[in-house]
Amino acid sequence: MNTRRDFLRNIGASALMLQLNSLTTFADSSDHHEQPYQGKVLRVAIMGLGGYGTRFAEAMKDCTKAKLVGVISGTTSKIKDWQAKYNIPEKNCYNYDNFDQVKNNPDIDAIYVITPNALHHSQVIRVANAGKHAICEKPMALNAREGQEMIDACKKANVKLLVGYRMHFEPRTLEVIRMRNAGEFGKVMFFQGQCGFKAGDPKQWRLDKALAGGGSMMDIGIYALNGARYMVGEEPVWVTAQETKTDPVKFKDGVDETIQFQLGFASGAVASCLSSYNINHLDRFFLSGDKGFAEMQPSTGYGPIRGRTHQGELTQPVTIHQSVQMDEMADIILTNKKPVVPVNGEEALKDLKIIDAIYQAVKTGKKVSLTT
């Protein structure tokens, strides 16, 4: 099945080796691992053992503050395979019907929900009701109403709700944000975000509105939207959007093929973004200010992220995004660490409100005002 995972893997085996070699060099040349971590470890169960769940499980082998200890799946054979591969005890294995019983398991602290979009709402609420911290893949929900209900449920249960915004911890991305905060780009005037790939199997869940909640905008477009917000450093105040559909058989009603959307900010900055399931080689951010610029390509892929600014190439360490994400999220949950860019439910709700407005703008053809 061709998915965004496959697209992003097309960076190639050589790039992956470069990423791993760079990470090893960075680790060897720093004192990061000279003092073994002896603090508390976040014990995580993964819900949804598909391709991205597997990527996370592999990445967590390199975590120091988070550990994979449990699994939740509707497929018995996958549970058995993961038990053997990751040394997961039987008592930490659940299916979608009985995982509420995790409330009686003191050996699991958090559950990472990596299932189709339409399942996030009910599953996160069940995780909260079981008294466990919830980590959810993006988009957090199908719409802002669902997202607010998830936030409310986690607050009521006194557990944290975090969302898988891995780019919020990526070193080169954070350097661009630092430069912007320091005024090195001057007054930000323009952002461009391009995210897309050709979706493959027409029967995949991402092309099923009932499971995905939409099309490219819900899957890959959220990177451009979220990127516009953290690169510009403001919340948009209006949105316009247009949809292009060339294959209505593959991309049925409610499943967007390509959406162009524009954002306006109170400062006067504007953003022009593209989200597509039918255009390859789209993974680029560009930020322009009156004193400088930043360009990133690839900008949101699994790595290595590459970029340059008016000052030269970005040379921050290459990392395995999911490993860094989980260690950082462990700190957020266990020590209330405040990340540079939030990854909580409220952050995700802002994206959902704008996505709702984008779909409204597509439907009406009108500019939609945003309230945050």
Contacts of 303 (CB under 8 A, 6+ apart): 11, 15, 16, 19, 318, 319, 320, 321
Task: Tell me which DSSP letter residue 65 carries.
Answer: S
Structure tokens at 186: 């001057």
Cβ-count burial 206-227 (b if 16+ within 10 Å, e if not): bbbbeebbbbbbbbbbbbbbbb
Task: Tell me which DSSP letter residue 144 carries.
Answer: H
Known active-site residue 223: yes
Q: Pick the catalytic residue from 223, 230, 277, 302.
A: 223
Half-sphere exposure (CA, 13 Å, Cβ side) for 158? 0
Dihedrals phi, psi of 31, to nearest 5 degrees: -100, 20
Q: How far apart are the first and last CA of the chain?
A: 37
Q: How far is the C-alpha of 346 from the C-alpha of 339, rounded, in Å? A: 14
Phi-psi category of residue 303: left, alpha or beta, with phi > 0 → left and psi -120 to 50 → alpha? left
Q: Pick the catalytic residue from 65, 132, 138, 160.
A: 138
Known active-site residue 86: no
Give the containing element (helix H, strand E) for 146: helix 144-157
Residues annotated as catalytic are 138, 223
